[in-house]
A = this chain, B = another copy of it.
Amino acid sequence: MASVPDLRVDGGRLWRRLEEMARIGATPAGGVHRLALSEEDRRARDLFGEWAASLGLSVSVDGIGNMFARRAGTDDARPPVVLGSHLDSQPTGGRFDGPLGVLAALEVVHTFEEHGIVTTSPIEVANWTNEEGARFPPAMMGSGVFSGRFDLADALRAADPSGVTVARAIDRIGYRGAAPIGGRRLGAHLELHIEQGPILEDAGHEIGVVTGVQGTRWFDLVIIGEEAHAGPTPMPRRTDPVAVLGRALVGLYRRVETEFAPHGRLTFGVLTATPASRNTVPGRVRVSVDIRHPEDEALDDMEACLEQETERACAERGAEWRLDSVWRSPTVRFSDRCIAAVRGAAEHCGYRWMPLMAGAGHDSVHTNDVAPTGMIFVPCEGGVSHNEAERITPRQAEAGANVLLHAALNLAGGGSRGPVSCSATNPSPGGPA
């Protein structure tokens, strides 16, 4: 029988649960199509609920569909340590973005049960509603309403492209629960997630100790020229916003890749020209701009750089421009206590780890508003994510779950063997085949 410091999850069991979950909404290319509040999401929730119940956890669902599977602590009045992530996916998403965090949390509790470990604080495994925002914007909806950042009524009114609202979809799958949304203290929130980037893999590390989330600003950049006929209008007579865009792009990439290296990120995801006619010089182009950096001051500088390079390019050709702010997410710093717990757990288990800033949003950004929060990253192959080709190894999943286990033990306290631990005499009690 292992002592508490030697405690490790059952990696095979975790992997089998990941595989079983990945069958719900499985795509031919090996990915997952499991949009929030869809029939596939309902099946995923049902399966999660069954597994939780079979471990003796009590499952509650709140008014936006967030699910909490609770295991009592010896001091059950203490605020719970929540281990959570999400089960919804992108339209052609991968098998691990989200489910790894939920099912590793379940595996942690399973391991506690099996070894008769009781914690001082209660533990809750959370499945946050609609993290992806792919069907219903905005992303990270459930945790956003929970933390008070989003208004419940707004969230329930959000509609998918066919006009179905969150309110209707959540009722249709029967997951509008009776539990109040938020308004209660959490002892901590820990989330295990794949990195969705290549840094850990490139560095040869097994664990990323996430110290926070880089700040992000979204803009629409509009460059305004003058519509003209592609044929008769001589080049010097044109105010061509595409020519301006080319010049601005070159200046911007050059500066971000030098002045803001290695942390600055610059992405133009959406390009449109108006009126989008093959033989008309566009009157305007509109591009989405996504800039990210781990420091808010550097983000200010990047925004200024965006304005300078655009102005310079416009001035050359007499065009005008407008920069519309769409969204701003300041840099997030996670709790020192949670960061220390994750780092300590990685060291305790002997994994190669490094500190890391998350590049993307996660439910932990929202829980960080209301509770000490931390994240654990494991590498994914080639950094590929939001893609059916998303891949991790069973060993990588297991390492992440072991760090989650020891960080949770640290934060929840206790770790003593409880009075009833029959399962500890049976190290392999079946679980989901």
A interface list, Cβ under 8 A from B: 195-199, 214, 216, 218, 227-237, 240, 242-243, 245-250, 252-253, 256-257, 261-262, 264-273, 276-282, 285, 288, 290, 292, 326, 358-361, 383, 385-387
Distance (Å) between the CB of A33 and the closest chain B CB? 14
Expressed in whole angstroms, the Cα–Cα distance for A269 and B249 within the complex equals 18
Which B residues are CB-close (under 8 A) to A227? 386-387
Q: Give 19 CB contacts A-B under 8 Å.
A: A197-B231, A198-B232, A214-B231, A216-B231, A227-B387, A229-B360, A229-B386, A230-B359, A235-B261, A235-B266, A245-B246, A246-B250, A267-B281, A268-B282, A269-B277, A269-B282, A270-B276, A271-B285, A279-B360
**CB-based contact B290/A278 at 8 Å:** yes
**CB-based contact A358/B232 at 8 Å:** yes
* Among candidates B236, B237, B267, B383, residue contacting A280 with C-beta atoms closer than 8 Å: B267
Known: A197-B232, A231-B292, A235-B264. 7 other contacts (CB 8 A): A227-B387, A230-B265, A230-B290, A234-B262, A234-B265, A278-B290, A278-B326
* Copies of the polypeptide in the assembly: 2
Distance (Å) between the CB of A354 and the closest chain B CB? 14
Distance (Å) between the CB of A41 and the closest chain B CB? 20
**CB-based contact A231/B269 at 8 Å:** no
Contact (A229, B277) CB under 8 Å given A234-B262, A246-B250, A265-B235: no
**CB-based contact B229/A196 at 8 Å:** yes
* Among candidates B257, B280, B387, residue contacting A386 with C-beta atoms closer than 8 Å: B280
Distance (Å) between the CB of A76 and the closest chain B CB? 38
**CB-based contact B231/A242 at 8 Å:** no
What DSSP secondary structure best describes chain A's contact surface? mixed
* Among candidates B256, B257, B279, residue contacting A267 with C-beta atoms closer than 8 Å: B279
Which B residues are CB-close (under 8 A) to A242? 249, 268, 271
**CB-based contact B292/A229 at 8 Å:** no
Name which residue of chain B comes closest to A361, CB basis.
Answer: B231
Contact (A233, B197) CB under 8 Å given A250-B246, A250-B247: yes
**CB-based contact B235/A257 at 8 Å:** yes
Which B residues are CB-close (under 8 A) to A253? 240, 243, 246
* Among candidates B243, B273, B290, B385, residue contacting A271 with C-beta atoms closer than 8 Å: B273
**CB-based contact A279/B268 at 8 Å:** no
Which B residues are CB-close (under 8 A) to A218? 278-279
Which B residues are CB-close (under 8 A) to A387? 227
Closest 6 CB pairs between A and B?
A197-B232, A246-B249, A231-B359, A232-B359, A230-B267, A231-B360
Which B residues are CB-close (under 8 A) to A280? 267, 269, 386
Which B residues are CB-close (under 8 A) to A196? 229, 231-232
Distance (Å) between the CB of A273 and the closest chain B CB? 5
Expressed in whole angstroms, the Cα–Cα distance for A273 and B269 within the complex equals 7
Expressed in whole angstroms, the Cα–Cα distance for A277 and B267 within the complex equals 10
Best-surrounded residue of A196, A249, A256, A282 (most CB of chain B within 10 A): A249
* Among candidates B233, B247, B290, residue contacting A279 with C-beta atoms closer than 8 Å: B290
Expressed in whole angstroms, the Cα–Cα distance for A236 and B245 within the complex equals 22
* Among candidates B232, B281, B358, residue contacting A231 with C-beta atoms closer than 8 Å: B358
